[in-house]
Amino acid sequence: MANSPQAKKRARQNELRFSINKARRSRIRTFIRKVEEAITSGNKDVAADALKTAQPELMRGVTKGVVHKNTAARKMSRLAARVKAIA
């Protein structure tokens, strides 16, 4: 348990950041899931729109420090390739 005042404050800040980051990660996963569902449905237009809305959300996660830049780039690249492959 934190004893010094600054350690107590740090613990409070960590709790707040954890909840914010958790919500952000969840939001990103939701957007990615929507793209994947559109891909499995086979509708290219819907999948492309879902990808277009998911990309800024992923990059926002990068700027906020929730997701690493290369991880986001890899996810976007793979999703884009899957959307492009829809006949």
What was the pLDDT predicted at 65?
Answer: 95
pLDDT for 1 beyond 80:
no
Give CA–CA dist 74/12, Å, rounded. Answer: 34
Q: Render pLDDT for 13-61 as a digit per residue (tens, 0 to 9).
A: 999 999 999 999 999 999 999 999 999 999 999 999 999 999 999 999 9
Domain ranges for the chain, please list them. Answer: 5-84
Using a pLDDT cut of 90, give the percent of the chain over it: 95
Give CA–CA dist 43/2, Å, rounded. Answer: 53
Give CA–CA dist 11/48, Å, rounded. Answer: 42
Instruction: Considering the domain delimited by 5-84, tell me its CATH architecture.
Output: Up-down Bundle (1.20)
Q: Render pLDDT for 19-32 as a digit per residue (tens, 0 to 9).
A: 999 999 999 999 99
* Structure-token pair, residue 35: 């793209």
Give CA–CA dist 70/16, Å, rounded. Answer: 26
What was the pLDDT predicted at 87?
Answer: 75
